[in-house]
Chain A
Amino acid sequence: MTLNIRKTILAASIALVSFAPLASAQSVLDNYSPVTADLLANPPKSDWLFWRGNYANHGFSQLDQINKDTVKDLELAWAWPMADVGIQETVPLIHDGVMFLQTSNGIVEALDAKTGDLLWTYRHVLPELPASWSYQANQARRQKNSIALAGDKVILTTPDAKLVALEAKTGKVAWEKQVLDWQKGYSYTIGALIADNKIISAISGCSIAGTAGGCYIMAHDLETGEEIWRFNTLDDPKNPKQGESWGEVPPENRWGGTPWATGAYDPELGLTFWGVGMPGPYAELIRGSGEGEVLYTNATIALDVKTGELKWYYQHLPRDNWDLDSPFERVLVDQEIDGKVHKLLISVPGKNGIAFALDRETGKYLWSKETVKQNVVSKIDEDGTVHINEELVPTAVGQPVLACTSVSGGKLWQAGAYSPLTQTFYVPLTEACNEVTPTQSEFTAGNAVGSVKFGPRVLPEGIDQAGLFEALSITPTAGDHKWQHRQRPTPTSSVLATAGGLVFGGDAGRYIKAFDQETGEVLWQQRLNAPIGGSPVSYEVDGEQYLVVPTGYSNSASSISSAFPEVPLPNGNGNSIFVFKLKQNAQ
């Protein structure tokens, strides 16, 4: 029977590339220039080269043609259906007028960013998973947050745990590398970070039974794909505290620790910063880790980009019992005050929605601020020690506790944006709670090790608006509410801040909205075909600024839709992109 597996591996290594017939004549691809290290360090404002636009994960566009005055004149330039269905977390990348769009199942399309013409398509051929590996199949179908651009290549991370380098001009495979074993459950669900001539990537699937004991952030050589270093978030023999924090549980019975979001990079410090997710099994009763903090789950880790050596870590949620991951985007902010530059790392790292600021040179805790209703953290000391609410730790199998936020957030994968104009961090959030009940069940291949039953997502008591766009003003000493936009349908996309003074964000009710960065006033909105998904981004071609908005289902829309039944979600999947620009005559 293992023969079957080998056969699928063979099939998997054959990839298909096809070309659009008319792309040859005079294609924008002819003028495609390499994405150099210098461009990555200083991205041109006309491009969108990363998941969040720059190494600092700002989610900020320097373009300002679309601004508070002109945004009312946005109109549709073109639209495009994605090549596959599946949960939507994508971000289109744009360089030299070429848009690279990846969809679930490892499909990448190159499009002319001005006209919407297809230039080439790459389809990764995936092994067929056994039907009973349902969790793994679902995870693999989830659209990744991004691909990465480097030199003349497009770097793709695949659901079968490969790195694939495509020629940006043709979509042909330059090389591919099997990084980890998909048969154990490993899969990539996020894109890589290109830094210091390395591909820095983080694996997912670490809460699938077969992956016990190993969850990795890795560096591979940008030219050859050779591995340079790896860091295991579940087992760090160099730090005895890490092992002790799991109590008696040996590495082979540890799961989770998944870095679910692409990291940030500070070239000056030579450090790359990553967030780490929850431990598995979710409840300490089943996990067997007693009162241990289970490092490095729910922590920020700072790694030396050259060696992968751990410089510091800070744990945002020790002793997680509720699947309240803290892996989300880490954002690097420099603020100069009285001649002193403060190097901050800010984040709403976890599902519980608490915002944090750290000193990113040392990992020292600076401040935290609650956003949505949460009841799992009872107190955070001056020195940054986080205390959990022990009343919410189940002590018996079958004992339900009502945890806020819910397994679907609070905060989820949808990334916030930092605007240097307003020194404000804009974050999409959800008000929700759910019952969490530990269960005891035997693990099976391809399936998750949570061992917890989740109740339906419900609104916290006294709240009837599930959606929150939060604007947090940021200083080295405090974060505070600048404004809050509350609404019933939940935010379902990342947000984008722009030099035009706007914040774009979308919701389950299919509206893409433009907020005034200062006041939160909605200056423009447009209803589309499906919940707004992925990350809206902005770019410029031939002097015109464009806004691209992905749509389609994500877990964020489906799991809490009972909180806004008056806004029924569509039956169809809808994965598409919509591209807007200003009306010609309005300019």
Chain B
Amino acid sequence: MKLLEVDDLHVTVDGQKILNGLSLTIEAGEVHALMGPNGSGKSTLANVLAGRPGYQITSGTIHFKGEQLKDLKVEERAHLGLFMAFQYPVEIPGVSNMEFMKAALDAQAAAREEEPLSAIEFMKAVRKIAEELDLNPDFLKRGVNEGFSGGEKKRNEILQLLLLQPTLAVLDETDSGLDIDAIQTVSAGVNRFRNTDNGLLLITHYQRLLDYIVPDVVHVLANGRIVRSGDKGLALTLEEKGYAWLSTS
């Protein structure tokens, strides 16, 4: 089943063309890696998928689970099972992490007409995931990402991923800022999340992550479009030869 289908997508931000004819299809059960030089448009794609205001689709279409994404509000996309782990998660002082995650879960349950978790079930679930990710439970009481280190913020994103159990998760450079041990813990968490019904889009600069979370397909984005796709080997070649190799090969 097709989870995500991006077809000939053109996007402008602040009047500037960023994506120029990007096409990408992710089937259920697949992991896709998206690589590419700084400024090539990777985060732009993630933001467009999530529905960030100010990102204008000038042509092309995005379907998620068969629905036109651009007709859906940001929160409706989340309710439908889309998740984005931010490259730079925002700090929200005053809103506790715990309170925030309960509100998110409740909102999603309500939208899907499901019973919300009880407070106790919720606490149990969160504590268990925090433990798996080696996150000190004290983080749950603090303000969302408030004063978290770079790596702690990234782990907090994965905590939310594991709690919300979306169908498609876009992880924007989750590995950047993680120490070597944390990459392994986080990857183990993500691998536990994987199943035949969901999908992953991993945005990364480093092939090392792909040793832990093995992708089915690797894409290279340059100047707003996918210029090369291949298997895991493509990432290794890029690591060795750099992006310049693409234009010569």
A joins B in a complex: no
Binding site for A on B (CB under 8 A): none
A interface residues, Cβ below 8 angstroms from B: none
